[in-house]
């Protein structure tokens, strides 16, 4: 090797050593004391051994700080590059809290913006790891990263639905950069160290925490109890989604019998329709090995969403849960459902809807919250789905919620109902009260109210039963077949196989306009 290269290699080695030292020993020790891995440790934990190829390692902050002095800024506080995660190529970036508290500088933000564009060009997922005090200010020019942030946000939005976007909030993420995780498809927050906040006054003890964004804002999909747990959840999530929108999720070999019959399904539903049950019991009995990867578990729990496999095939499940608010479709559950089915459709993932819901809730409270507007999003969204769609109705399918959960005229590929299914414009109890109020008033005077009420109710239930409606294949909302609950798993699997190569297109247009 010629001596002329020696000096250059020394400079390169010194640059790499400086990057490895990050913000210095004390800052790294403090990071560990806070229960957090460093930016590089997080990538090392995420990536398959030996697969991380760093990019942008020479980048530095070239402006002075507020005190007029230049500060060390290895990689400008952003470690990023190409890697493989469980054998799949991804682009990954990690904000380095040991470098100026992970504040976003002018060059660091451009690095990330370019990486997202590269990920879209190479058609692979992008994973962001956030641990940042927010915007960085310089002595001249104030915050200089807004231009780069604009490009980063634009790239996230433009490539949404083209490549999967996953974010982990493992430390603070405040100010304008807080927009980026929420633009991602999935957000995972460390419950001990994660903090997501746009700005302004904090008025509650849990503001910005994982629980806050899971239960109240709905901006958190998964909660982790450590950095390692968050990274493990990313790996699990990647197993259910394809590399990009032009591919399909990979099926795997399954040793769970596709024809397995579950007699326990006969005991899940209570005899009296006034009583509830937990939809998770049904899901656990029909998916492969009872493995269900739930999302937004504590946000609008009356709507259950998540991923599972059926004979090795990936499917997204959206199910009303009678055990929570009777499974009503209120604004939060409508938003949760809408975002989930849009992701499934974007990435060619089949949708299984499981319905047992009494409809959208009536009344002044819900109208003020925009229940119609939020429900209209579901009508609009489902109408545009072209991915495989299977609907399973277990019991109640009333009112508008029947339509948004994939009724027969909304275009599911297959729709099945248990013999206990009822289709109705609203609950039979309400209809009895409205239509037979005179008869009920007279019966109350004669001390025969319960007898008369139950008589009319039984007539209506018989009329609305799928066992009656099933006699007319297209006139009313009904099903393709009424099935024995024990055969639910095998019916779903056969339907997913049949629709695997379906071809469905929406009318050609520039784009659709979703209700506000």
pLDDT of residue 66: 57
Coil, helix or strand at residue 483: coil
**At residue 72, does pLDDT exceed 70?**
yes
Mean pLDDT score, 379-383: 93
> Exposed, middle or buried, 239 (CB in 10 Å: 0-12/13-18/19+)?
middle
Q: Quick one: what percent of the chain has pLDDT higher than 90?
A: 62
Give pLDDT, residue 69: 63
Domain spanning 16-238: CATH superfamily: 2-enoyl-CoA Hydratase; Chain A, domain 1 (3.90.226.10)
pLDDT tens for residues 185-238? 999 999 999 999 988 888 888 989 999 999 999 999 999 999 999 999 999 999
Residue 130 contacts residue 95 (beta carbons within 8 Å)? yes
The string of DSSP letters for 327-359 reads G---HHHHHHHHHHHHHHHHTT--EEEEEEE--
What percent of the chain is modeled with pLDDT above 70?
95
pLDDT classification of 252: cutoffs 50, 70, 90 = very high
Express each pLDDT in 299-358 by its tens digit.
Answer: 999 999 999 999 999 999 999 999 999 899 999 999 999 999 999 999 999 999 999 998
SS3 244: coil
Q: What is the mean pLDDT of residues 400-408?
A: 85
The residue among 2 and 376 whose pLDDT is bigger is 376
Which pLDDT score is estimated for 368?
A: 92
> How many angstroms separate the CA atoms of 357 and 407, rounded?
12
**Selection from 73-77, 250-254, 367-371, 434-438 with the highest mean pLDDT:** 250-254
Residues making up the chain, counted from first to last: 516
CA angle 210, 214, 216 (to 5 degrees): 110
- Split at pLDDT 50, 70, 90, the class of 1 is low
User: Mind listing the pLDDT tens digit for each residue in 86-118?
Assistant: 999 999 999 999 998 888 888 899 999 999 999
pLDDT at 140: 53
Query: Cα-flanking dihedrals φ and ψ of residue 131, to 5°?
Result: -160, 80
The CATH label, of 3.40.630.10, 3.90.226.10, 3.10.20.30, 2.60.40.2550, for the domain at 263-421+465-498 is 3.90.226.10
- Residue 63 is predicted with a pLDDT of 63
Quote the CA–CA distance of 92 and 472 in Å, as a whole number. Answer: 54
Average pLDDT, the chain: 90
- Give the pLDDT confidence score for residue 363 in this predicted structure: 85
Show me where the domains of the chain are located: 16-238, 263-421+465-498, 428-464
Q: Are strands 389-398 and 195-197 parallel, antiparallel or unpaired?
A: unpaired
The whole-number pLDDT of residue 210 equals 92
pLDDT per residue as tens digits for the range 457-490: 777 777 788 888 767 777 667 889 999 999 999 9
pLDDT at residue 147 is higher than 80: no
Tell me the CA distances in angstroms from 270 to 76, 483, 487, one per residue in order. Answer: 60, 18, 19
Are 477 and 407 in contact by the 8 Å Cβ rule? The answer is: yes
Rounded mean pLDDT, 245-261: 96
Give the model's pLDDT for residue 284. Answer: 98
Which among 110, 93, 218 has a CA at the least distance from the CA of 168? Answer: 93
Rounded alpha-carbon distances, angstroms, from residue 393 to 302, 329, 333, 355, 491: 16, 15, 18, 5, 13
Looking at residue 44, its pLDDT comes to 97
Confidence tier at 428 by pLDDT (50, 70, 90): confident
Strand segments, DSSP code E, in 225-347 are 293-295, 303-310, 313-320
In contact, 37 and 31? CB cutoff 8 Å: yes
The pLDDT of residue 68 is above 60: no
pLDDT at 138 over 80: no
pLDDT digits (tens, 9 = 90+) for 158-191: 999 999 999 999 999 998 899 999 999 999 999 9
């Amino acid at each position: 090797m010629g001596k002329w290269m020696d000096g250059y290699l020394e400079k390169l080695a010194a640059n790499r050593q400086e990057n490895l030292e990050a913000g210095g020993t004390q800052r790294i020790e403090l990071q560990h004391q806070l229960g957090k891995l460093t930016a590089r440790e997080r990538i090392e934990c995420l990536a398959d051994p030996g697969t991380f190829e760093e990019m942008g390692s020479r980048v530095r902050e070239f402006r002075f700080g507020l005190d007029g002095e230049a500060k060390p800024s290895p990689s400008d506080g952003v470690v990023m590059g190409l890697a493989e995660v469980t054998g799949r190529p991804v682009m990954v970036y990690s904000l380095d809290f040991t470098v100026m508290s992970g504040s976003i500088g002018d060059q660091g933000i451009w690095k990330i913006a370019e990486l997202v564009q590269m990920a879209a060009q190479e058609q692979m997922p992008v994973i962001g790891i956030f641990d940042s005090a927010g915007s960085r200010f310089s002595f001249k020019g104030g915050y200089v990263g807004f231009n780069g942030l604009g490009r980063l946000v634009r790239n996230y939005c433009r490539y949404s639905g083209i490549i999967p976007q996953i974010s982990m909030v493992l430390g603070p993420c405040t100010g304008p950069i807080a927009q980026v995780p929420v633009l991602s498809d999935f957000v995972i927050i460390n419950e001990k160290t994660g903090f997501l906040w746009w700005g302004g006054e904090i008025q509650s003890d849990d503001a910005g925490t994982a629980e806050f964004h899971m239960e109240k804002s709905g901006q958190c999909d998964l909660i982790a109890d450590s950095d390692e747990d968050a990274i493990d959840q990313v790996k699990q999530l990647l197993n259910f989604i394809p590399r990009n929108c032009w591919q399909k999720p990979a099926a795997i070999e399954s040793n769970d019998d596709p024809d397995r019959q579950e007699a326990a399904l006969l005991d899940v539903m209570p005899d009296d329709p006034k009583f509830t049950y937990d939809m998770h019991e049904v899901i656990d009995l029909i998916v492969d090995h009872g493995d269900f990867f739930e999302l937004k578990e504590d946000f609008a729990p009356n709507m259950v969403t998540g991923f599972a496999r059926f004979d090795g095939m990936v499917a997204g499940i959206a199910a009303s849960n009678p055990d929570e608010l009777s499974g009503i479709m209120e604004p939060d559950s409508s938003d949760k459902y809408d975002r989930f089915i849009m992701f499934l459709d974007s990435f060619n993932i089949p949708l299984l809807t499981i319905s047992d819901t009494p409809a959208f809730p009536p009344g002044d409270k819900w109208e003020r919250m925009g229940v119609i507007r939020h429900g209209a999003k579901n009508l609009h969204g489902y109408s545009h789905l072209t991915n495989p769609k299977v609907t399973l109705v277990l019991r109640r399918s009333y009112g508008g919620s029947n339509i948004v959960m994939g009724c027969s005229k909304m275009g599911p590929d297959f729709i099945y109902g248990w013999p206990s299914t009822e289709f109705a414009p609203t609950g039979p109890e309400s209809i009895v009260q409205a239509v037979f109020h005179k008869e009920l008033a007279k019966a109350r005077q004669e001390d025969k109210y319960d007898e008369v009420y139950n008589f009319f109710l039984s007539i209506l239930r018989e009329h609305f039963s799928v066992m009656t409606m099933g006699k007319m294949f297209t006139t009313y909302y009904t099903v393709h077949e009424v099935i024995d609950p024990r055969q639910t798993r095998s019916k779903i699997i056969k339907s997913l196989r049949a629709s695997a190569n379906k071809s469905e297109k929406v009318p050609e247009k520039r784009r659709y306009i979703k209700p506000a």
